[in-house]
Amino acid sequence: PGDVQSILDTFDQWCSLVEFISNIGPKKGKILDRLLQEHCPITVLELGTHCGHSTVRIARSLTIGARIYSVEMDEGNTQSVCCVQVELIVRVSDEVIPRLREDFSVERLDLVFMDHWKRCYLPDLQLLEGSGLLGEGFIILADNVIFPGAPNFLVHRATLEYIQGIRDGMAEITFLGIKSSTGPGLDLV
């Protein structure tokens, strides 16, 4: 009890041996862990809480004072999430993103983890771009961009800067500012 790695391992074993439940899993989870260690985000937006697997993984890596705003549209999926650093928001993402500043006093996002409805990736990214909450060095990590896929999300990124294929199906994006005809854009690595 209370051992975060034990919780994650037990969940992964259950999903592997008993019943598949969609989650980031141990391999792609290491990518998320690396980003959290490298960037030490203070304010994280998680789109798609589901059963809280990624929420737990993110929370264990955050420093004191950091906060996760975890958005899940299905209240039934949120019963297992409970953490001091987590603000659980049970609403659809396109309602939450425009209201982060007003409803939750969010001034800046450092990292967004997208693992919700793939068709929402692009519209939510566009809402984030227009929100005024993205600062230089802001990171987006989007899961399952290859399968089941979020092709419009990837194409949108390609038009702003460049795109590099990622075999594990995740996309890491670094915000360099809103792109003008000659200025920086989002970088997909």
List strand residue ranges (DSSP E) for the chain, in order: 43-47, 67-71, 86-89, 109-114, 134-142, 171-175, 186-188
pLDDT top residue among 132 and 179 = 132
**Burial of residue 159, with CB atoms counted within 10 A of its CB: 0-12 exposed, 13-18 middle, 19 or more buried:** exposed
Residue 94 appears among annotated catalytic residues? no
Query: What's the average model confidence in pLDDT over 155-180?
Result: 58
pLDDT top residue among 21 and 62 = 62
Residue 103 appears among annotated catalytic residues? no
* Residue among 12, 72, 115, 124 flagged as catalytic: 115
Q: What is the pLDDT of residues 90-118, one digit of tens each?
A: 899 999 999 999 999 999 999 999 988 88
Residue 30 appears among annotated catalytic residues? no
Question: What dotted CATH number matches 25-188?
Answer: 3.40.50.150
Residues 6+ apart with CB under 8 A from 60: 4
* Residue among 94, 161, 172, 187 flagged as catalytic: 161
Picking from 76-80, 82-86, 157-161, which range would have the lowest pLDDT averaged per residue? 157-161
Q: What residues does each domain of the chain span?
A: 25-188
* Residue among 102, 143, 168, 179 flagged as catalytic: 143
Is the pTM here over 0.85, yes or no? Answer: no
* Residue among 12, 46, 118, 124 flagged as catalytic: 118
Q: Which residue has the tokens 């975060």?
A: 4
